[in-house]
Amino acid sequence: MITLPSQIKEFLQAALSPYSYDLKRNIYIWFGVFWGMPIPLVTLLYEYRILDLSGSDGNLFEMLNSPMQWLFLLHPVLFGVIFGILGTVRQEKELKLVDTIGQLRDLAIHDPLTGLKNRRYFAHNFHDECARSHRRNEHLSLLFLDIDYFKRINDEHGHHIGDVVLRELGNFLHIQCRPYDTPVRWGGEEFLILLRSTDEAGAVMFAERIRTKIALGISQEIPFTFTISIGLTEHQTGDTLEELVNRADQALYHAKQSGRNRVVQWSVLPSKEA
């Protein structure tokens, strides 16, 4: 809640900022100077008028002999200082607003538990990745990962440990991926990885490598080992997001049904499943 004491404190803090008196960057100073200009001009015209009516030959500045009159003359300086301080207050508020917007934008596209990009980001970014791969005539492959027996992990070790597993797996996938790949927490214990410039054979090699490492253990914070199953497919011209994810999901389902802890590509599924 904004109160008068808090506003006064904010103003005094801004008064100590060097930016409040920076003539080159803080344009509010000049706005204040021009805002205060009419006051000394009116004061000088008024004094000049008095001299003219009285017929006096005295110097104009000799008549400006009171502190109040000089205060009127200094109004541009006073207004410049005040507006400069207000400019600092405004700048700090704008910086806080930009920071808040950035944080909200970051929260909107990241999964808070794993730190990976989320489903919303993936759906928004998918068409850009497809267009880029098409322009460069590059392959694009999708991995669909699921933790084996995750419900058993939660039941036997508690949901806190389940969250640790998800967080550490997310960190592991982020480290294993290249900077231009897109690892995503799809939901629950499911993850997606979009591999740029990677055909199906390369995707299988990558998937087998991470599957093997996960089975051996990826973090000392997890007091047991666990495995994952992976289904994968290569992007085909004209694929929608739903079609690509559905094929990878079918391959994942086959990996689960055939024993778990394995990698299955959609292209090798029996025709009736595909």
How far apart CA 209 and CA 222 sit, in angstroms, is 20
The order of strands in the sheet holding 263-265 is: 182-187, 190-196, 140-147, 228-234, 263-265
* Four-CA torsion 126, 131, 132, 134, nearest 10 degrees: 120
For residue 123, give the H/E element and its range. helix 119-136
Whether 129 sits among the annotated catalytic residues: the reply is no
Give the N- to C-terminal CA distance of the chain in Å, as an integer: 60
> Cβ neighbours of residue 261 under 8 Å, at least 6 residues apart?
148, 211, 215, 227, 228, 229
Tokens of 252: 């994942």
| C-beta of residue 34 within 8 angstroms of C-beta of residue 83 | no
Q: Among residues 189, 200, 234, 243, which one is catalytic?
A: 189
**Strands 263-265, 228-234: pairing kind:** parallel
Cα separation of 119 and 272, whole Å? 29
List phi, psi (to 5°) of 234: -100, 140
Q: Could you list the active site residues?
A: 189
